[in-house]
Amino acid sequence: MAKIVIKDLTFSYGNHKILDKINISVHDSEMLSLAGPNGSGKTTLIKCIDRILKPNGSILLDGNDIESLSRQDIARIIGYVPQGSSSPLSTTVFDTVLMGRRPHIRWRVSENDLDKVTEVLQLLHLDDLAMMDFGQLSGGQKQKILIARALAQEPSVLLLDEPTSNLDIRHQLEVMEIISDLVKGRRISAIMAIHDLNLAARFSDRLALLRNGMLYAEGPPDTLLTAENMLRIFEVEVEVVKVRGSPCVIPLRSLRDAESSIGPHPGSRS
């Protein structure tokens, strides 16, 4: 059985439709990356799955309709890593990660809660930062701590919104390696919105390409990352080469009149 099943999901802000009849499934130990131009609906879809936004359609978690679950039940299942790492509060790294235990805390913080935080910090090699102020850390360190906070929930589903944004190349790779290892090692289902197609190709099991709020195509990275798809979706001319078995997209030039030259995709909306 699929861990997550999304059926005919539609979302609008007023009369402006953002997502239109999205159908996607994700299994255990699988990472699905959402890719597409700005405004294609990637972040909105992530927020709909986490019930930050309320769409039409259905979302099933382990066969249960998410509508039947309480906010606390959802928080025990889904760990959400938002885009960006700003925090309005001055808290230590340990306390920031401890916030992820909120769905499990009854009357007070238990020894088990403290142990789980310590375990996650050690797992991500953050234990030496435990007593430091979250706000004083680098962007890469903050991103890892937000992942640690989500993992402290002990989720079976991980949602990540641009986890590598604003990170240098070393921290991009480090964060993606951590996420990939956790998905496989803990049998987590992960859905990640990402702009970097080459990182997505290297670390994802499947891609979902979004265009104009609709699912343009879905499948393995080496099948979807083609010059034709990049032209239709991103309006750029690219060359796609294989590097260590993974497709690598090399941008050549933008084509502002691409759609008029090749015609719109049959599924696109005007």
Average pLDDT, the chain: 87
pLDDT at 110: 85
**Is it the case that residue 122 has pLDDT exceeding 70?**
yes
The Cα–Cα gap between 114 and 143 comes to 21
Q: Is residue 245 part of a domain?
A: no
Q: Is residue 31 part of a domain?
A: yes
CATH number at residue 32: 3.40.50.300
8 Å CB contact between 81 and 163: yes
Domain span at residue 43 reads 4-217
Q: Is residue 163 part of a domain?
A: yes
Cα 18 → chain centroid: 18
Q: Is residue 263 part of a domain?
A: no
Q: Is residue 264 part of a domain?
A: no
Total residue length of the chain: 270
Q: Is residue 234 part of a domain?
A: no
Residues 189-240 pLDDT 10s: 999 999 999 999 999 999 999 999 999 999 999 999 999 999 999 999 999 9
**Is it the case that residue 269 has pLDDT exceeding 60?**
no
Q: Is residue 18 part of a domain?
A: yes
8 Å CB contact between 256 and 235: yes
Average pLDDT over residues 4-28: 93
**Is it the case that residue 43 has pLDDT exceeding 50?**
yes
Residues 154-191 pLDDT 10s: 888 999 999 888 788 988 898 899 889 989 988 899 99
Rg (CA), the chain: 19
Q: Which residues pair with 32 in a beta bridge?
A: 191, 206
Q: Is residue 247 part of a domain?
A: no
The count of domains in the chain is: 1
